[in-house]
Amino acid sequence: MIVGVPREIKLGEQRVALTPAGARSLAEAGHRVLIEPGAGAGSGFTDDEYTAAGAALDAVDRVWADAAMVLKVKEPVAEEYARLRAGQVLFTYLHLAAVPELARALARAGTIAIAYETVERADRSLPLLTPMSEVAGRLAVQEGAYYLGKARGGRGILLSGVPGVPRGNVVIIGAGTVGISAAKSAVGLEADVSLLDVNLDRLRAADDLFRGRVVTIASNSYNIAQVAVRADLLIGAVLIAGARAPLLVPRSLVERMKPGSVIVDVAVDQGGSIETIRPTTLLEPVYQVGGVVHYGVANMPALVPRTSTFALTNATLPYVLALANRGVAAAVRQDPELARGANVWAGKLVHPAVAAALGETATPLDAVVR
């Protein structure tokens, strides 16, 4: 199969859908990889690294025109819509519910669009979202620690403390992928860490994992109020699948937090769970409310594109190989995880949740896969 990797052109996106290691794996399996020159630059890969791994460089027009499967990171932007074409497989993050015009463009073009974010295992976990949550959770602590610096608007706290001076206090609400990853970083910095969740099994797992290094607390409004006023760094890491994040820290509680404390609400992409949070960008990540620093970056992995590219492609490559080796129809027939990734196929919306979000009824995948 000819597999094409264009350079990402969405504003601020520095990741790339395939590493040189991935290119080598595809080449070893007998596939031809076409890379747009400079596609890996934002993640620190040179064109030479790709060619040494067996890929060929080609102009963006040729990459899209010749590839049977195009690998991307972000959804195509408007200027790429004209490149979409019938029967071509597009494997990328799509988030179609947020861009109905793209869903229409994919259907019109006859593209076979498989979305990273809806590839789903039998246990309902989302293997192509998990790596970005792992990055965001660890980064939440790194960024939070940075903004606790006095010159950055924070309280002037070193999270680890020093002999004779207590550690800083980190409160993490939500003990899922983001929350556990944040706890690992915070424990690594030797901070004083509290972790809250409504799911006691998550807290049991954290208790076993951290062996006394993290205080686990049942999440309810009473307990949240008690820990928030002690926090130097408060991290929001909750998710209710398919819904807006629940509002857990009201403005009145933010106003009682310590001046110079820092809030990083990772769940801001789902509306956030802190009443005073709003989405920010990496160019202007923070603002203050009542002396409390608020960090609301909705695409945190973009700050560390090289790590994020490795993390993402480690997870996508097995699916990429399955699609290339078997062909898309056989791959989705044999692998229910990949089948759940199918969003648009031969002009039809085939994912029930995506179709519902766009006010349409999904066509069963079986009816279109030949």
Shortest Cβ contact with ligand NAD: which residue? Answer: 176
Nearer to ligand NAD, 4 or 174 (CB): 174
Nearer to ligand NAD, 17 or 297 (CB): 297
Nearer to ligand NAD, 229 or 298 (CB): 298
Q: Cβ-count burial of 122 within 10 angstroms (0-12 exposed, 13-18 middle, 19+ buried)? A: exposed
Which residues lie near ligand NAD (CB under 6 A)? 132-133, 136, 173-179, 196-199, 202, 219, 237-240, 245-246, 248, 266-270, 298-301
Q: How far is CA 287 from CA 140, 177, 186, 290, 340, in A?
A: 16, 26, 23, 10, 39
Largest CA distance in the chain: 69
Beta pairing partners, 123: none
Element (H, E) at 92: strand 89-92
The active-site residue, picked from 31, 95, 294, 351, is 95
Strand order from edge to edge, sheet including 214-218: 214-218, 192-197, 169-173, 233-236, 262-265, 292-295, 286-289
Cβ 37 to ligand NAD shortest distance, Å? 29
Cβ 251 to ligand NAD shortest distance, Å? 17
165: left (phi over 0), alpha (psi -120 to 50) or beta: beta
Q: How far out from the chain centre does Cα 38 lie?
A: 23
Cβ 222 to ligand NAD shortest distance, Å? 12
The question of whether 351 is a catalytic residue gets the answer no
Cβ 290 to ligand NAD shortest distance, Å? 22
Nearer to ligand NAD, 124 or 211 (CB): 124
Tokens read off for 333: 């027939």
Rounded to the nearest 10°, the torsion over CA 113, 117, 121, 122 is -90
The active-site residue, picked from 47, 207, 269, 335, is 269
Q: Which amino acid is residue 226, in one-letter code?
A: Q
Nearer to ligand NAD, 53 or 304 (CB): 304
The question of whether 66 is a catalytic residue gets the answer no
320/317 Cα distance (integer angstroms)? 5
Cβ 177 to ligand NAD shortest distance, Å? 4
Cβ 327 to ligand NAD shortest distance, Å? 31
Tokens read off for 6: 């264009």
Nearer to ligand NAD, 178 or 189 (CB): 178
Tell me if 265 sits within 8 A of 274, measured CB to CB: yes
Residues 6+ apart with CB under 8 A from 369: 329, 332, 333, 345
Helices H, strands E: what count in the chain? Answer: 14, 15
Residues forming the active site: 95, 269
